[in-house]
Structure formats: structure tokens, C-alpha cells
Amino acid sequence: MTIHNPLLEDLLKGFDTSLSHSGVNGERIARRLYELSHIGFTQVGGVKRPGFSIEEKSAKALVKKWMYGAGLDVSEDGAGNVVGRLKGANQDAKVIASGSHVDSVPNGGNFDGPLGVLSALEVVEAWKDSGFTPNKPFEVIIFTDEEGSRFNSGLSGSRAMAGEINEEEIQRLRDFNGADLEQVLEDYGSSIRDFKNAKRDFNELELFVEVHIEQGKKLEQENQPVGIVSGIAGLAWLEVEFYGEAGHAGNTPMIGRKDPLVAAAEFIQRVSEFPQKVSGTAVATVGKMAVSPNGANVIPEKVSLNVDIRDIQEQTRDQLVNLITEEARNIAAKREIQVEIKQSTKIQPIPIAENLKEKLAESLKKFGIKPTYIPSGAGHDAMVLGKHIPVAMLFVRSKEGISHNPKEWSSLNDCVAGIHVLKDFIEKKMME
């Protein structure tokens, strides 16, 4: 059965062709997004391209074809990361790089990841069409398995490039079919040895800049096509368990009950109130909870929940962790029950340097765009590289903030506006 894919016509509908200038071609971007959308296409208009899958590999192969056509030297490491390199006038200069990923969540959209890859490649295409030679080498990078749908653990390609995946994790990883990393890599055409050799010397890189859809509503609210990422939030996860006394729901008086679910309910309410006390960019979420024994007529004995805590500054993120931890203990003591708290995950936030944000703001203003600063609550490959080299990020407006969904949408006008800003910013950095 043939399934109609309207992405190309939807992108071109209402496109302002005057935005195609200085070598940047909006129709080329639309056609490439459209061609990629066929790989792993789902019946509801989304895509399914898990990391290390045939579909992800096919998407990379298509982009590699475009890279070769743009005059890039193309290589792929043992983790599946693809690098297209353009020589600069000064080959001894450090590399400026840009890119993202082409894998997806199980039924994702057509912009999360591919837009960042195609934006970086379009900068090269624009230079080629206008006869511009950059002063420094430039790389377009496609990172493997950013979304993590293969192993339920994302950023695999960038983490392998950074040498962050140790032997213990390699042995522990199992995919959605139960296959270990060694088997997955062999099926992909690589090996554990080559995967380990994907570690890169970051001393040769000056800067990485990533374009990504916003996955939020700030730019839509501000009516701006492109914004500046002010920082990438660091994640902390708390596992909290309240222990009380189980009892019969009908025969146990209300007075004297030790109900851990009532304590958990109070705790969840308090969690939602704490972020604004420490920072304007902090967030905290309880998104997972289990009640035991989970009977309709039984007072619970135990309630387990997870708290997801994020902020772009480590100090305020950790302050929020402490406030929430203390509150859990206070509630448990007040209700005469027990609580156990364990921090299971802690990831360093990545701030964006002020001078990079200032230069991005200059580029935005050049195209009549008001600088809007947005913290990124989601993880990105830039977050991994940001531990080693300076990074910057641009967000492109997302319709209704929808992401990881076939309805994910950024207009072609906004996508092209983001490419112009990226190109101008990179060209300024090339001259330094």
C-alpha cells in the first residue's frame, strides 16, 4: 500500500522564497527533509529510526551522499559517527564543527536531529555555491543513537567520541531485543574494538554549535523564528521511597494511620513549588510512581517515586536537590513514617559562554530577529562535547512545542532563518 507523504508540499506551502539567498537554498532543505522522512516512515507520518538500525544507517548513507556532493571528505568511526570535513585556508587552525543526529524515537517527527545535520550541511552548500572558502576547517557531524531508543541510554555516539562509555557499561548494555552491544555493533558493521577507538582528541576542535528544534513554546510565545540556548540543563534523579503500615481501608481509623501515599501526595505538591525558589530556569518533576501492594481497599505499605531535577547552573540544581531531599525527610517525620532517598543520576549542566551568546545575538539582529534566551531542559550531543570544548546552540521555533511526535513541525521559513543565523555566526568565528 502506497502511503502519501505530504511533507514536501507542506514545507513549500507559504515559503518566502526571498529567504533563499547568499547560497542558502530553502527548497533544497525542504527536499532533503522530505527524502529523509521516507526512511523509517510510519503510517501516521512519523519516523522510526532507532540507533544502530538499518534505517539510521540508511539515513546516514543518504546524508553522506550529499556530503560527498558538497565536496566534503567523509569518514565514519567505529561508533557510527559520520564526519564530513571541509578544508580551510588555514589547515593548521582548529576545527569549527556543527551537526546533530538522524536517529529517532519510536514514532518521532521529521525535524528533531535532521534539521541540525542539514543546517550544518547547508552552510557548506552555501559556501560552495557562493565560492567562499572558510579560513578554518569545518566539520559536519552526524552523531549515532542520540535519542537512546536502542539501549534506553542516549547520546551513545557523542559519548563514545568523548570516551565516556567504559567497559562496565559496555558489558551491561542490552537493546530492546536483548542483544548486547557487541552483537549490535557486528550487525551494524563495526566491532567493540572499533567502538572503543572512536574516542577523539578534542584538542583539534575549537567549537561545536548545534541547531535544534526548540521542543517548547517560548519562541512561539515571543513570535520569533530562532532563539539562543542559554545553557543545557544538568539532570539529577532522586529515587524516593516512603514506608508506612498497610491496613484494611475500611477497618483502620483515619486517626493514627501511617499512609505513605498521603505523604507522597504532599511531597509531590511541594516538589512543584521548590524550583522557583532557587532559579528561574530550574524544574522538578515526579513522573513515575509505584504503590505497593496497590489494592483498591488496602492502605499502602510503600510508595516509590522518581524525581527529575534540572537546571542550567550546577549550584542551583544541587540546591534544589537538597531542598527536595530535606522536604521528603520532614514530611516522613511529621507523618511518623520512614523514607529512603537515593540519588541515582547526576549529570553536569553545560553553560554557554557569554561571548558566544553575544555573537549569536549579533547574528540574530543582523536578520531582524530579537534575541530570545531559552534554557534547554533536554539533553543534546552538544552537552557531551561541552565538557571538553566550547559549545553553542540555536533553537528553531516548534509549533505548539510538540516534539517526539509525528505532529512535530517547524516551518521552512523558520528553518531557513536558523541556517542564515548559523552561517553568519560560523563565518564570524572563522575570522577570529
pLDDT per residue as tens digits for the range 20-48: 999 999 999 999 999 999 999 998 889 99
Cα–Cα nearest to 393, from 158, 116, 29, 155: 116
Poorest-confidence range of 116-120, 309-313, 413-417?
Answer: 309-313
Work out the average pLDDT over 123-139.
Answer: 97
pLDDT band at 347 (very low <50, low <70, confident <90, very high): confident
pLDDT, the chain, mean: 95
Q: Would you say residue 15 has pLDDT above 50?
A: yes
In the chain, list all ranges with CATH 3.40.630.10: 7-233+349-430
Cα–Cα nearest to 370, from 246, 269, 219: 219
User: What is the share, in percent, of the chain residues with pLDDT greater than 70?
Assistant: 99
Q: Would you say residue 398 has pLDDT above 70?
A: yes
Q: Would you say residue 410 has pLDDT above 50?
A: yes
The dihedrals phi and psi of 386, each to the nearest 5 degrees, come to: -65, -15
User: What is the share, in percent, of the chain residues with pLDDT greater than 90?
Assistant: 92
Q: Would you say residue 367 has pLDDT above 80?
A: yes
In the chain, list all ranges with CATH 3.30.70.360: 234-346
pLDDT band at 153 (very low <50, low <70, confident <90, very high): confident
Q: CA–CA separation, 80 vs 190, rounded Å? A: 8
Q: CA–CA separation, 370 vs 9, rounded Å? A: 29
Q: Would you say residue 252 has pLDDT above 60?
A: yes
C-alpha separations of 133 from 21, 418, 421 in Å: 17, 21, 18
C-alpha separations of 3 from 32, 38, 44, 240 in Å: 19, 10, 9, 47
> Looking at residue 3, what is its pLDDT?
62
Bond preceding residue 293 cis, omega within 30 of 0? yes
- The CATH topology of domain 7-233+349-430 is Aminopeptidase (3.40.630)
Beta bridge pairs of residue 180: 174
CATH code for 234-346?
Answer: 3.30.70.360
Count CB-CB contacts under 10 A for residue 23.
Answer: 17
pLDDT band at 1 (very low <50, low <70, confident <90, very high): very low
> Looking at residue 2, what is its pLDDT?
55
The 3-state DSSP class for residue 133 equals coil
Which grid coordinates belong to 364? Answer: 540574530
Poorest-confidence range of 173-177, 371-375, 385-389?
Answer: 173-177
pLDDT band at 5 (very low <50, low <70, confident <90, very high): confident
The 3-state DSSP class for residue 245 equals coil
> Looking at residue 190, what is its pLDDT?
97
